[in-house]
Amino acid sequence: MTNIATETRSVVVEREVPYPPEKIWRALTQPHLIEEWLMKNDFKPVVDHRFNLSADWGGVDCQVQTVEPNKTLSYTWDTKDLESVVTWTLTPTGTGTHLRMEQTGFRSDQQPYFRGATVGWQRFLTALEQVLERID
């Protein structure tokens, strides 16, 4: 028997980017760069660090879960009605890095959040790529 209430969905966005993992890591972990492509924040790449992301529409409460420099970063992503986890995975390739973002934890009754994240993360990753083009 399946319990529908506990089944969750994930949003996954994957891109091949022509930059080394170290450069992408900086954009994922330095607060002034995160602000340029995602939101204002008080992020620190330290396990258990609690931080907030904020925008005109509101904010997100987060807590760092995993920090493997230049490889994996994960943090909780909690809003009023959504408790989820965002995981970034960086895999070196011959031409740069395979960048994977996965946000897990969307319940079946959270379709608006799921749809919003599906569109939103595409925009955020496009903005991230623009930041990467600009920084050394």
Query: Per-residue pLDDT tens for 64-119?
Result: 999 999 999 999 999 988 999 999 999 999 999 999 999 999 999 999 999 999 99
pTM above 0.75, yes or no: yes
| HSE-CB of 84 using CA atoms within 13 angstroms | 25
| pLDDT band for position 1 (cuts 50, 70, 90) | very low
Cα–Cα distance list, 38 to 92, 94, 107 (Å): 23, 27, 24
With beta carbons less than 8 A apart as the criterion, state whether 53 and 70 touch. Answer: no
Nearest of 20, 21, 38, 6 to residue 117 by alpha carbon: 38
User: Please, which pLDDT band fits residue 5 given cuts at 50, 70 and 90?
Assistant: low
- 59's tokens: 């904010």
Amino acid occupying residue 74: S
Contact 115, 3 (CB under 8 A): no
Q: Does the domain at residues 10-134 carry the CATH identifier 3.30.530.20?
A: yes
For 6-34, the pLDDT digits (tens) are 689 999 999 999 999 999 999 999 999 99
Q: How far is CA 129 from CA 19, 42, 61, 96, 106, in A?
A: 10, 21, 24, 13, 26
Nearest to 128 by CA among 10, 35, 20: 35
CB 27 within 8 A of CB 17: no
